[in-house]
Amino acid sequence: MEAMIIDVTQDNFDEMVLNNSMHVPVLVDFWAPWCGPCKQVMPMLEKLAHDLAGRFILAKVNTEEQQELANKYQIRSIPSFKIFHQGQMVQELQGAQTASAFREALEPYLKPDLSEDLRQQAQQAFNAGEYDQAIKLLGDASQANPNNFRIHLDLAKMYFQSGHLDKAEALMEKLPDEAKQSKEGKSLQALFKFTQIVANADDIETVQKTLQNDPNNAEALYHLSGYLMLHNHPDKAMSCLLKLFSVAPDYQDGVAKKTLIETFEMLQDERPELVNTYRRQLQNLLF
């Protein structure tokens, strides 16, 4: 879908804003060419319109040229923003805002995002072992909303969890910084750390045999934590790292503690109870 960004005048305000708001919310930006904060906010709003393409309309009113509209809506300072829904003004924001503030204000009025439903279906299919169906559903989701970067993060994670590490890393490299710096992106990048842990390790059978002969072998404990995380056993991986921290806290400049903290951040939203359990155990070892 195309982003809907329009310039609004006194002549077309009713049609462009009030009538269109019966179908999708309309965010009206009252601005002026001389206004510095207006110029700072405008690119952010235009990007949001692209990210949420088809789900709301960004209507721009130049108050220098449209003074009647500015007076009608009692614009005393700019930038000033008003959200219209179902023909009515439903919310106002004053002054420069963050992108998340605009998104939060729009959220109650946005049209449902089909791509999010398809993402959920894809995850359910993947969990049920229906790999090809999951990939197809993510493809459908991407067509429904090409700007939803979470779809591509889901795909990278599925590649990762199914052992296609090269595909996962290649896809992650192509993603925009916004995706990489998102909560989901950082979580996925943390997972890649475990691929690096095992990259130069012996095979898992050799690592396990080493630990049978020497249960406190720091290198083997570290490598086993990587294998366990990659095989989707985060609880066992964290147990391994806790043991490593208890027997060799200074191993590789304290890598056990650093990796545990990264793992906590990665799993906090998905497995909060598990994280809290192991976080307490780490605190007990620290204090």
Catalytic residue among 35, 118, 122, 267: 35
**35 carries an active-site annotation:** yes
Catalytic residue among 38, 61, 158, 275: 38
96 within 8 A of 88, measured Cβ to Cβ: no
Chain Cα centroid distance, residue 217:
38
232: left (phi over 0), alpha (psi -120 to 50) or beta: left
Q: Cα separation of 103 and 98, whole Å?
A: 9
* Environment class of 195 (CB within 10 Å of its CB; exposed 0-12, middle 13-18, buried 19+): middle
Q: Cα separation of 30 and 41, whole Å?
A: 11
- Phi, psi at residue 80, to the nearest 5°? -135, 140
**C-alpha Rg value of the chain to the nearest Å:** 25
**240 carries an active-site annotation:** no
CA 183 to each of CA 143, 147, 162, 173, 252: distance values in angstroms, whole numbers, following the listed order: 23, 17, 21, 16, 27
**Considering only CA atoms, which of 186, 131, 130, 125 is closest in space to residue 153?**
186
Beta-carbon contacts of 244 under 8 Å, excluding residues fewer than 6 positions away, are 218, 221, 222, 225, 251, 256
Residues involved in catalysis = 35, 38
